[in-house]
Structure 1
């Protein structure tokens, strides 16, 4: 059980650093493309890892650790809410549909591989 926590922690460190760097570089335009990218890639990656049926420690490292830390639900909600309260309701709606549509589709595609 201790090794499971180590696997998640090490994977989480990698995912968090990658998310930080991508968001820092890409969240400078009309939509936060860094957040959209990490959530989309993470959704695909989690689907792919789960579909591969790896041993539990590797699933914990890659899916729970790396991909779990790479994706960010809380930042997504903050960005959508900020658009909404600033009066950009259309942008908030498009960003929401784009994120969830891509996420579900990419997770399914990854799992199917």
Structure 2
């Protein structure tokens, strides 16, 4: 049952990642990967919220592991950073790593704190 919940969450998260990435990136005329940053920060916020409230293992599997796992993407962050560095956009590459890590941790912290506050 747990594997099925993870698969369902992933089946929703992966297409949302792709569509969001394309929509955000289409609005920016920049080599910086704004779409990947957006999905990674949003997924971190949601995962922080899931971690901040008492949930069943089923919800954690569906939303945390499945949905957030498929929505966010460390491998794409790594690839895009390498692509930026190889193309000579080293400052963009460094900014991609730093902003992604700092914003992701901040979003997870905010999600956790907000969920704890709302859960009372």
Asked if TM exceeds 0.5, the reply is yes
Partner of 1:67: 68
Q: Is the 8 A contact 1:15 1:70 kept in 2?
A: yes
**TM-score with structure 2 setting the length:** 0.89
Residues 38-96 of structure 1: per-residue CA shift (max 9 Å, x gap): 00000010010011120000111001011110000111101000011111111111111
Partner of 2:17: 19
Q: CA RMSD in A?
A: 0.9
- Give me the whole-angstrom Cα distance separating, in 1, the residues matched to 2:54 and 2:15: 26
Partner of 1:7: 5
- Give me the whole-angstrom Cα distance separating, in 2, the residues matched to 1:97 and 1:51: 25
**TM-score with structure 1 setting the length:** 0.94
Gaps of 5+ in 2: 115-120
Partner of 1:48: 49
Q: Secondary structure at the match of 2:40?
A: helix
- Give me the whole-angstrom Cα distance separating, in 2, the residues matched to 1:93 and 1:67: 25
- Give me the whole-angstrom Cα distance separating, in 2, the residues matched to 1:77 and 1:53: 32
Gaps of 5+ in 1: none
Partner of 1:91: 92
Q: Is the 8 A contact 1:26 1:32 kept in 2?
A: no
